[in-house]
């Protein structure tokens, strides 16, 4: 039998001891205080943000519709020494799109935009098909075209101001001025070398945009742009034109591979002209080759040949080992050193030191050079700047090749005396000749105009040695010398020819580098001019026949441009005849 128990009365289900929560009084009070403190903190924070400091909320609100946009700074101008324009930035427009909005354009709107941008509708569709929030459609269009596009009021199509670099002198100054890219930053030449000064600093403006990104109100400037600094080069545009045109004519006349020309103010070291051929138009750089872009006068090296000989003669005079009239036997025009034989292109008998330079005798120069230790010759070349960068700050400038003197063999010492076994750039060689135009001082070179005077160089030779060397260099351009075609009517000039074999595959080939480096006028030197022609193939290959006439034409025009009076009438007074020292 089952016994049923009736539930006891007087107990409720919710009063079960299991469900009772025993909470001490102090804990409940603590929770209440914490909640109250949190509420007060929220009230205080709200009061602070909305009453005392409402900048935060204002900033957050502004961020929904206010934008700071960059205001481009104009890149600094590049001018020549007289202020003539060489590079200037012109205002342009860039068209950009919000692809999602631009895709809502009608077919007719797309056709109109593509026509104004000189592109196909297919290319336009390809631009705005990108899954991006921003894309350039076409950069650097004219302001007039930009206005016509703006008048169409196309959805998702916007514009911004930028600048395009323009070069008035075009290919004439391309290698020294250089050029910029589409973002207006320097890529070559002075544009790259002086980028920090030219670039400037962009500013900013605050605008109000709608949800599609359209500017509906210009609030004002927050930071004005700072335009780049104007750069005044040492370049003289008139002399640059002379050097460029004569170099071009010479390369074309002799069907040469390339060439370079440099004109230096002998008193200040300023580079008045620097030209290369082939060249390019920096305003239109399509289909360029590496050969066109190379600044050969600064970045390429070559074996200079006989233009090195005057330095060896000057060292002998300066050390007192020889005099101008010291006789050197160069017969029979050949000389064996070890297992190698060197020779003169035209054999001579006994020659004075002056005639060794005038006739450009390899044998005579080698005999002078072998009278020195390798260290003495190396020290001279080092003082002249060979084997070192010219410190112009120009992109790609090279130091050439000058091997340590401890490794020189006698045959190498002999060949280096007449410019084989050593490599230099044209700018290095031009600078080295400043010692003959500045009483023995090697001048520092400058791409920028030098307003401070006087400029001092590094002493290399004595003044007496230099005066004697000038007479020798003047003899070289006389009828009995190697460069009579380098003479300048009305002026006394002097210089030295160079005709050197080129190295291909580690051996000398039957290809030549023809050069001439000279000073003008001899009575009071003002200019150093160096001309180099690479691989002349028509009309001879000797430096006096190829580079000499180019030197003559450049010097004649430059001397007249600078207003330097003729000094040919001073020949007798200076003790010099047309055949050399009296």
- Distance in angstroms (rounded) separating the CA atoms of residues 316 and 377: 10
Beta bridge partners of 91: 163
- Distance in angstroms (rounded) separating the CA atoms of residues 158 and 146: 10
Q: Which residue has the tokens 């105009």?
A: 449
**Residue 552 · residue 520 · CB < 8 Å:** no
Q: Which residues are CB-contacts of 549 (< 8 A; sequence separation ≥ 6)?
A: 250, 485, 486
- Distance in angstroms (rounded) separating the CA atoms of residues 429 and 436: 12
Instruction: Tell me, rounded to whole angstroms, the distance of Cα 54 from its chain centroid.
Output: 53
The end-to-end CA distance of the chain, in Å, is 162
142 a catalytic residue: no
Phi, psi of 273 (to 5 degrees): -160, 145
Distances, alpha carbon 143 to alpha carbons 114, 159, 164, 496, in Å = 16, 10, 11, 54
User: 309-318 vs 374-383: helix axis angle to the nearest 10?
Assistant: 110
Q: Is the peptide bond before 288 cis (omega within 30 degrees of 0)?
A: no
Q: Which of 72, 89, 237, 306 is catalytic?
A: 306
* Structure tokens belonging to residue 367: 């005999």
**Residue 447 · residue 269 · CB < 8 Å:** no
Q: 456: burial class by Cβ within 10 Å (0-12, 13-18, 19+)?
A: exposed
Q: 257: burial class by Cβ within 10 Å (0-12, 13-18, 19+)?
A: middle
Phi, psi of 441 (to 5 degrees): -100, 135
**Residue 441 · residue 459 · CB < 8 Å:** yes
DSSP β-ladder status, 231-232 and 78-79 = parallel
Phi, psi of 549 (to 5 degrees): -60, -35
**Residue 299 · residue 276 · CB < 8 Å:** no
The H or E element spanning position 379 is: helix 374-383
Geometric angle at alpha carbon 258, from 526 and 85, rounded to 5°: 55
**SS3 assignment for 246-294:** HHHHHHHHCCCCEEEEEEEECCCCEEEEEEEECCCCCCCCCCCCHHHHC
Q: How many CB atoms lie within 10 A of CB 523?
A: 18
Q: Which among 373, 356, 374 is positioned nearest to 365, based on CA atoms?
A: 356
Q: Which residues are catalytic?
A: 306
């Amino acid at each position: 039998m089952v016994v049923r128990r009736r539930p006891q009365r007087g107990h409720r289900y919710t009063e079960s001891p299991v469900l009772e929560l025993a909470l001490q009084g102090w804990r409940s009070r603590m929770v209440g205080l914490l909640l109250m403190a949190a509420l007060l903190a929220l009230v205080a924070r709200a009061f602070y943000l909305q009453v005392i400091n409402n900048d935060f909320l204002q900033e957050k609100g502004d961020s929904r519709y206010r934008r700071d946009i960059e205001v481009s700074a104009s890149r600094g101008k590049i001018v020549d020494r007289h202020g003539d324009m060489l590079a200037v930035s012109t205002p342009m427009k860039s068209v950009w799109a919000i692809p999602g909005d631009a895709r809502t354009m009608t077919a007719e709107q797309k056709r109109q935009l593509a026509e104004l941008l000189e592109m196909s509708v297919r290319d336009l569709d390809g631009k705005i098909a990108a899954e991006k929030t921003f894309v350039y459609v076409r950069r650097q269009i004219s302001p007039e075209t930009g206005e016509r596009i703006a008048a169409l009021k196309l959805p998702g199509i916007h514009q911004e101001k930028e600048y395009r670099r323009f070069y008035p002198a075009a290919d004439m100054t391309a290698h020294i001025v250089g050029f910029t890219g589409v973002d207006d930053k320097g890529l070559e030449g002075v544009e790259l070398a002086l980028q920090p000064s030219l670039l400037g600093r962009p500013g900013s403006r605050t605008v109000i945009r709608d949800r599609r990104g359209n500017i509906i109100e210009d609030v004002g400037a927050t930071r004005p742009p700072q335009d780049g600094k104007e750069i005044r080069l040492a370049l003289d545009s008139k002399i640059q034109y002379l050097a460029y045109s004569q170099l071009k004519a010479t390369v074309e006349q002799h069907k040469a591979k390339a060439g370079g020309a440099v004109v230096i103010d002998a008193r200040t070291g300023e580079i008045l002209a620097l030209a290369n051929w082939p060249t390019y138009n920096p305003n239109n750089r399509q289909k360029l080759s590496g050969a066109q872009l190379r600044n050969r006068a600064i970045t390429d090296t070559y074996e200079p040949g006989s233009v090195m000989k005057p330095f060896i003669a000057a060292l002998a005079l300066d050390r007192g080992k020889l005099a101008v009239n010291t006789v050197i036997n160069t017969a029979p025009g050949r000389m064996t050193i070890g297992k190698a034989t060197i020779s003169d292109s035209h054999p001579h008998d006994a020659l004075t030191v002056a005639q060794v330079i005038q006739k450009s005798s390899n044998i005579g120069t080698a005999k002078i050079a072998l009278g020195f230790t390798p260290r003495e010759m190396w020290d001279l070349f080092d003082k002249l700047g060979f084997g070192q960068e010219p410190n112009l700050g120009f992109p790609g400038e090279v130091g050439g090749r000058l091997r340590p003197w401890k490794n020189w063999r006698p045959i190498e010492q002999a060949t280096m005396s007449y410019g084989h076994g050593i490599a230099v750039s044209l700018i290095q060689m031009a600078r080295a000749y400043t010692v003959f135009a500045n009483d023995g001082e090697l001048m520092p070179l400058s791409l920028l105009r030098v307003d401070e005077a006087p400029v001092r160089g590094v002493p290399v030779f004595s003044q007496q040695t230099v005066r004697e060397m000038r007479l020798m260099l003047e003899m070289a351009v006389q009828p009995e010398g190697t460069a009579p075609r380098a003479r300048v009517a009305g002026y006394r000039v002097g210089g030295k020819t160079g005709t050197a074999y080129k190295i291909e595959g580690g051996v000398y080939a039957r290809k030549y580098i023809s050069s001439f480096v000279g000073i003008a006028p001899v009575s009071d030197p003002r200019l150093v001019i160096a001309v180099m022609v690479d691989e002349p193939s028509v009309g001879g290959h000797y430096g006096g026949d190829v580079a000499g006439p180019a030197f003559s034409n450049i010097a004649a025009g430059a001397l007249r441009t600078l207003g330097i009076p003729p000094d040919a009438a001073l020949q007798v007074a200076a003790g010099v005849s047309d055949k050399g020292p009296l």
